[in-house]
Amino acid sequence: MNIALDEPLHLLHTLRFGTLATRSRDDGCPYPTVMPFAPDAHHRPVFLVSRLAEHTRNLLADAHAGFLLFDAQSTDVLSAPRTTLTGRVVPSENAGGDPGSPARRYLRYHPDAERYLALGDFSFFTLVPVRLRHIGGFGAMGWVDAQELNMSAPLDETEETTRLDNARRALPDTVRVLGIDRRGIDYEIAGVRHRFLIANAASNVASGTNTAASDIPFDTAVDLAIETIARGLPAVR
């Protein structure tokens, strides 16, 4: 079954925690643990881990891992969206893809984590996925190959920083902008994370003209998305 890519990406960009399963060094059994994370520019989960932690030691022995993202707001577990990514978790400097500074990006999503960096034994690891399994609800499920996560070239760190600065100037102080990528804008209001799909803003404009949404320049679409967020229109997922 074909899965709309924005569904698993929504979980990846709005959830704060997931469950990371590593392979135990002792008996080879799966060892799951709850992990905070932030998405990098390639939509890959980034973790800040202690070298003393059991899961880190497991990863240094065998980098293969699975990471479960689950939207637990629903009381009906089987109808709630969830995504499992499988791949290898490696030190971020070895993850490839020029992800920029993992620290700067991670701290935008988890500003309280700065105290851990001062301890000295914490470092960043990135899950380099092979594929993911998304379940959108009962009967709605499918596999997605990892290369589909990054079909468009990611924004480099300088461009994203410029766009973040522009968004912060345009939005009220009650909106904390976390990240911008080719597909969406991540932001937080009163502790609740949201993701606005840039294509939605382009489609809203295109629907009233003879212009196709895909023909609207990215710069224009981003500005339209920021304006829509500022107006508080009901386009937030």
How many Å apart are CA 96 and CA 108, to the nearest integer? Answer: 21
Segment 5-48, tens digit of pLDDT: 899 999 999 999 999 999 999 999 999 999 999 999 999 999 99
Three-state DSSP at 34 gives strand
CB 205 within 8 A of CB 224: yes
The domains located in the chain, with CATH, are 6-150 (2.30.110.10), 157-230 (no CATH)
Q: Per-residue DSSP letters for 44-58?
A: -EEEEEETTSHHHHH
pTM of the model: 0.90
How many Å apart are CA 156 and CA 51, to the nearest integer? Answer: 29
Does residue 158 have a pLDDT over 70?
yes
